[in-house]
Structure 1
Amino acid sequence: MSVFEVSSGHFCFRYCHFRQGRLVSSHCKFYFILVFLFSGLGTPVYGVDIALVLRSESKAFEQVVNGLTDDLKGDLQFSEHVVDRGTDASDIQSLVDEVSPNVVVLVGNRSINAYIQYQQVNKGEDFPPAIVLAALYVDQLAVKIDNVTGIRYEIPAVTSAIHLRSLLKHDVKKIGVVYRAWMKDFIEENVQYCKREGFDLIGYEIGGKSKRYSSKIKKGIAHLIDEGVDALWVINDNALLNSESLVKGWIPGLKNINKPVIVSVKSIILSKFKFGSFAVVLDHYDLGVQGASIIAEIMDNNWSVEGREIELPLSVRKMVNLAIFKKKGIEFNVKKLSEMDEVIWD
């Protein structure tokens, strides 16, 4: 079954079919220049390069793709597909065979993991360049993918620290962070970034492979406060931010701590837990635009990613929870509130 729509140069089709005993659905969007002939009917311009976009179901990921496609409209055709937990190497193979993409855009960790499986099954083959967006700790994943580049999803501690320092009346020099051992390289890199801007990032490492970190989180917070930190930076680690870690670790550990707490996930600063008082989060649409600029450069370089490094995100949104600031007695410069993208009053 197919449904076709044509609207102002926007051509899309949706189809469903059964593959290996299960239903697979795909949604493809093709952007093209309308050529009006005698009938006035628009027809696509053939020979335009194609990008295969794989993403998970998420509004944030939709925004990334919107930024990507809006910026490259007319330069590329986009074949967009939503992956889920059941998507495997054979599904990716079918899409690659069908689309024959010049470039593959991987949005989110789930799409990356499926694409890694696809490349492992097809070792030794030549793969089109791949761009990785909106995926946690992409540096560690990129080494498993041939012919890849991308943009980090994590916002450096120094970026958040600079924005926080501009808002507060008192200086911010020492920033504390609790992290798991496997993230040591990431933390050490952030230590160097912070030093360049006059910040001292102090880490508390949690070792072991335990799935329960509540007591270790509380111990880490206490240690960092004893070290005299001016603020705490909470990194985006699912194991340290699950419900149990929040309820039994972060919230009781921070109960009597009157320090700003920096987070990088919007839902945390808006949640009922109310322990994140300052957030610097990615602008997902602009992340897509940044990804589009990378693709444009790759196109100009004959579809080569050779010599490219993983980039840092360029565009962020700043949020402050004044209700927590006031409750904790954290003094801030009222005039600087105009520089915030979002202010939470209660």
Structure 2
Amino acid sequence: MDLQLLTENLNTHFKKELPFVVFSLPDSDSLVALLQNDSQLHTTDTFIERSVVMAPFNFTESAYCIPYALSTILEAKIEKTTPVRKEIIPQEDNTEKDRYTKLVQEAIHVITIKNANKIVLSRKYHMKLKKFQISTLCNRIFNLYPGAFRYIWFHPDTGLWCGATPEILVKTENTSFTSMALAGTQPYNEKAPIYWNDKEIEEQRFVTDAITNSLQKVTDVLKISKTYTHKAGTLAHLRTDITGILRNGKATLKTITTVLHPTPAVCGTPKKEAKKFITEKEGYDREFYTGFVGPICGNDRCSNLYVNLRCMKITGNTAILYTGGGITGASKPFEEWQETQNKLQTMLQVLQPML
């Protein structure tokens, strides 16, 4: 199908307030859209029905889903263009900056007294749009970040969300699965070498160790790659790949997802202590930010779930962008604030023509 026709269908569905999701896997030049035939809110707690799922940070047993069987399926090739990139400097709200840096300092204190190793903090950033258009959003998000999992999700009960995330939560194929540890963030400059400091290396080690320990609860067959630098849009991260074997009744898509989420990259370690701090101190509901999203192909085979990073929620002509970072004992509050500012660029670039 022609991409313009697909976006027209999305726009019609959106105006009728009917659910839809459109997505593209990393490095794919194809879009898949599911246009749900009614406005019912569907959920899954088995993760075996063929669908696209969306789960919040506070996921427990079930995730929202748009089932293939109850949707019209459209596919199109991404019309590759060279999107205009122009750095957008996020406005600095001194009150928010002061609040966030104090929260970072409080997290550092908790870590220093050995109540946690790492705590991931986050915040929201509101941006007014001149005019929101589904077609513009599609063109930008699917062209700017071809190496990421890109999606737009709408349901009248959840609102409109979109993102371009670099982080696999769990990917299954035949009898094997893949996850990853992603931590440490720097602005990416192809002309300059990247050097990782002790804080970033330590943060990555915490994430890798915690994910490995979690997965060992459901499988003892794991392979861990060497850590390497991974480019994600305008940012670079430290990445370690972790692979294992699926086992009927034990290591399934659902059990792996449950033991992994929320990962140390979006919550912290130990998980219980970090999540308690986030719940009590962060001061807002993350909703689907740092939850997970992606297509499930059924029976654990060929499914792709991604951590919902670099995302935003759009309501009317207001975009709510989400950003955060991992805090360790070596963190410096101002640098952590600046990291959250840098991470806003991913979604600000998507919005650029609508600002």
What TM-score do you get using the length of structure 2 for normalisation? 0.28
Greater relative contact order (Cα < 8 A, sep 6+): 2
Larger proportion of helix: 1
The structure where strand makes up a greater share of residues is 2
Higher gyration radius (CA): 1
What TM-score results when the alignment is normalised by the length of structure 1?
A: 0.28
